[in-house]
Amino acid sequence: MRNVKRIFVLIPVFAASSLCFAQQVKTKQSKSQVKLTIDSVLTISSGDQKLLTYQFKTVYPPAGQDTNYKRSGFIHPFYTPHGQVLTRIQPPDHYHHYGIWNAWTHTFFEGDTVDFWNIKGHQGTVRFAKFTSQKSTDNYAEYTALQEHVVFKKDKTEKVALNEWQTVRVYDPVKDGDYYIVDITSKMQCASQSPLLIVAYRYAGFGWRATEYWDKNNSEMLTSEGKTRDNTDNTKGRWVMVYGSLPGNDEGGIVMLSHPTNYNNPEPMRIWDKKQNGGRGDVFASFAPTKDKDWLLEPGKTYTLKYRLVVFNGKFDAAKAEKQWKEFAKQNPQTP
């Protein structure tokens, strides 16, 4: 059998986005295996290995729990290259945690406060409305979902306060590097002529509730500023790496990168330390751009937040994470 040669090429950032940082480009004899399928959920896979699932149908809480905890429009399960699940939904300590999701906690809309994060209070929620695009290429698969930030008004009516077009692009895994790249871009617009004020609060924004396999004894964090899990909360950073042991005598995690054009960058982080949940040390990590600063979203304007996730098995270190961030920082956030 003839040897199939692999080549490295320099790709313009606009045209190939995240294919920098030495990702191998496949020859015609070795096409990308990444694909997108939709049935009851949207799934992006590479070959036979699932990479992530987007839940566009409403998921209800376990029997006996308040049905206000129901939600759609979130990513779960989210897998490592080796197939271990890195997300968790509806944990008994926080039934409103949904894998990887985006919501605002303390907001002010049309004369009243609204909480889109703690959905049990039935002030608001975020829900899937429709897919606006789907695409598969030789290098990636992506979808854009319109997610509505819905206000439940006191007169029992509903009103959409914010439209969010969330584009999720998943690149073909780097076979020799044991990682793959996911870009998540949210473009937000007020849904009416009413502004939405996001009031500074200690948590909100882009959250990840990690696998129940992790606790204080088998997981750790590292930020771009050299902080670890017990001293990261209430700090800012360009990236945060969350990693630990995984089933199958394996290890891995995710490096969460924040784009330099994001609001209030470098962004504040909300991180659970090892004392969380009675000392068990469950893992939650979030970029919370409004943790220490209000953000007024005005009608007629578009607001963009962009994150990259480097999902890996094995070891990753600060030098690799910083290199990934530098490449990500070059990318134009207006071209997800």
Structure-token pair, residue 164: 């969010």
Distance CA 46, CA 237 (A): 31
- Domain extents for the chain? 13-329
Q: How far apart are CA 220 and CA 315, in angstroms?
A: 12
Residue 299 CB partners (closer than 8 Å, separation 6+): 189, 190, 192, 193, 194, 195
What pLDDT does residue 14 have? Answer: 33
Per-residue pLDDT for 79 more than 80? Answer: yes
State the chain's mean pLDDT as an integer.
91
pLDDT at 22 over 70: no
Q: Quickly state the pLDDT bin for 15 (edges 50, 70, 90).
A: very low
Taking the model in full, what pTM does it have? 0.89
Q: Is the pLDDT of residue 175 over 70?
A: yes
pLDDT digits (tens, 9 = 90+) for 86-101: 999 999 999 999 999 9
Contacts of residue 28, defined as CB under 8 A and 6 or more positions apart, other chains included, come to none
Q: What is the pLDDT of residue 19?
A: 41
Q: Which fold has domain 13-329?
A: Beta-galactosidase; Chain A, domain 5 (2.70.98)
More confident residue, 253 or 19: 253
Position 333 scores a pLDDT of: 57
| 32 against 210, higher pLDDT | 210
Confidence of residue 177 (pLDDT cuts 50, 70, 90): confident
Per-residue pLDDT tens over the stretch 24-77: 333 333 566 899 999 999 999 999 999 999 999 999 999 999 999 999 999 999
Q: Measure the CA–CA gap between 31 and 28, rounded to whole angstroms.
A: 6
| Percentage of residues in the chain having pLDDT higher than 90 | 87
- Residue 334 pLDDT: 54
Q: Average pLDDT for residues 317-330, to the nearest whole number? A: 97
Check pLDDT > 90 for residue 12: no
Provide the pLDDT for residue 184.
98
Q: What is the per-residue pLDDT for 332?
A: 72
Reply yes or no on whether the pLDDT at 237 is more than 60. yes
Q: What is the pLDDT of residues 273-289, one digit of tens each?
A: 999 999 999 999 999 99
Structure tokens at 86: 């890195």
3-class DSSP state of 175 = coil
Strand partners, 221: 242
